[in-house]
Amino acid sequence: MTEFDLAFSPSLTSDAGSFKLLELPAELCKLIEAKLEASNPLRLSIKGQSGEDAVLCTDDATYTIRSVVLSNSILVITPSDSSADSVVIRDQVNEILELTPAVPKLHKLASLLRGHEYDDVADSEEQPVDAGGLSYADARAAIQASDAELARGLRTQRILDIGGALRPITPAFLGSVLESILNLLVSQSMSPRAAPAEELAATLADESEISRAVSGQVMRWFGEVSSDGKWAMDVGAVVREIGLGILRQHKDDPIAKDTLLGKWKLAVGDTFEASVSLPLLSGNYLVSPAPMDGDDLLTYFPCAALPVDPPSRFIDLFLTRPRWKADEITPFLFDIAVNSKDRDKLLLKYTRATTDSQGVWYTKK
């Protein structure tokens, strides 16, 4: 066995507290090993402003950082500069930093961009960052999310990049843009799976005064543009957004299910009405039975408007309804859980499950 002389480092006092031990989850350890074998650089960043718990971000995932106190202290030693057979004690570590997969903190985008919405064709496209707008770089620094998660959040929250400033498009204008696109596809006999993106953008600009900057980004939100300039539309995503626009008008006055479906099919037109399906709107409505055995009534109740921290989320849900069926509550938990296993843990922690002839019900614990 090799023996080493052990001594205290002359810089022990100044080094104290400068070393941290980070415990890597299995998937992150494999990622680092794969990057090292492929000689590819791996960027890890720690994000968090004053008052926020720090998170660690890879290119596509976010982890919370939690301090765990060790029962035994660990000494940090390094080779001595003076002798190959000696090592020096540099620091003493009494805790490790534990990483746990986390949901990215994308909810901050709404508050940071409030007042900067892009409304309609009469709206000014230019809202410079130096005039109070938020750039992508600003968002990247402020939002606790990986680059891939931030890009996905900008897409799902329908946030445009106009002249270097991030601007959420208003739902009403977005619905108008999508309906114009559907009408144009039908009138010009364009295939929704291979429509010429440049021609679409030019026609929308000429006939509907929708700028290319807007239409180009909207097309990428709702489909893919190939290298040869063909746009493959995600029909389900477009149909869903138009349905949400109709449902959004019924926050206080419920709408009968069949009435909603009828208006929805009319809005998307004959070509796309077969894609209309109520499950597309899951997580955005409540169902209540109509009096006199009529059609079910739907009320707009968006998951995105609920609190993002789990305790407050469940308080709001149980203030809305004292008990929930399993298939009714789960759509309102997807955005606060990393995966289905994490969602089940939340249900176990914050609810009490009971079973009757109608199935599983969740009530407040």
pLDDT tens, position by position, 29-59 = 999 899 888 888 888 999 998 888 999 999 9
pLDDT for residue 291: 76
- Count CB-CB contacts under 10 A for residue 53: 11
Question: DSSP labels for 313-348?
Answer: HHHHHHHH-SEEEHHHHGGGTGGG-SSHHHHHHHHH
The arithmetic mean of pLDDT across residues 328-356, rounded, is 95
Distance CA 63, CA 58 (A): 9
B/e letters for 120-157, b = 16+ CB within 10 Å, e = fewer, are: eeebeeebeeeeebbbbeebbebbbbbeebbeebbeeb
The percent of residues in the chain predicted with pLDDT above 70, rounded, is 96
pLDDT for residue 218: 97
Distance CA 122, CA 112 (A): 23
Whether pLDDT at 17 is above 90: no
Per residue in 246-269, pLDDT (tens digit) is: 999 999 999 999 999 999 999 999
Distance CA 114, CA 53 (A): 24
pLDDT for residue 45: 94
Per residue in 92-119, pLDDT (tens digit) is: 888 999 999 999 999 999 999 998 999 8
* Cα distances (Å, whole numbers) of residue 293 to 114, 261, 299: 43, 19, 18
Half-sphere exposure of 158 (CA within 13 A, CB side): 21
Domain limits of the chain?
5-101, 104-169, 179-230, 234-301, 306-365
Whether pLDDT at 131 is above 60: no
pLDDT for residue 42: 84
In the structure, how many helices (H) and strands (E) does the chain have? Answer: 13, 17
- Local confidence band at 324 (pLDDT 50, 70, 90 cut-offs): very high
Mean pLDDT for the chain overall: 91
- Local confidence band at 88 (pLDDT 50, 70, 90 cut-offs): confident
The arithmetic mean of pLDDT across residues 292-321, rounded, is 93
Report which secondary-structure segment, H or E, holds 6: strand 5-8
Answer whether CATH 1.10.10 is correct for domain 234-301. Answer: yes
Q: Which pTM was predicted?
A: 0.86
The arithmetic mean of pLDDT across residues 195-216, rounded, is 94
- Local confidence band at 128 (pLDDT 50, 70, 90 cut-offs): low
- Local confidence band at 283 (pLDDT 50, 70, 90 cut-offs): very high
Half-sphere exposure of 171 (CA within 13 A, CB side): 12
Q: CA nearest 64: which of 234, 301, 309?
A: 309
Q: What are phi and psi of 333, to 5 degrees?
A: -120, -10
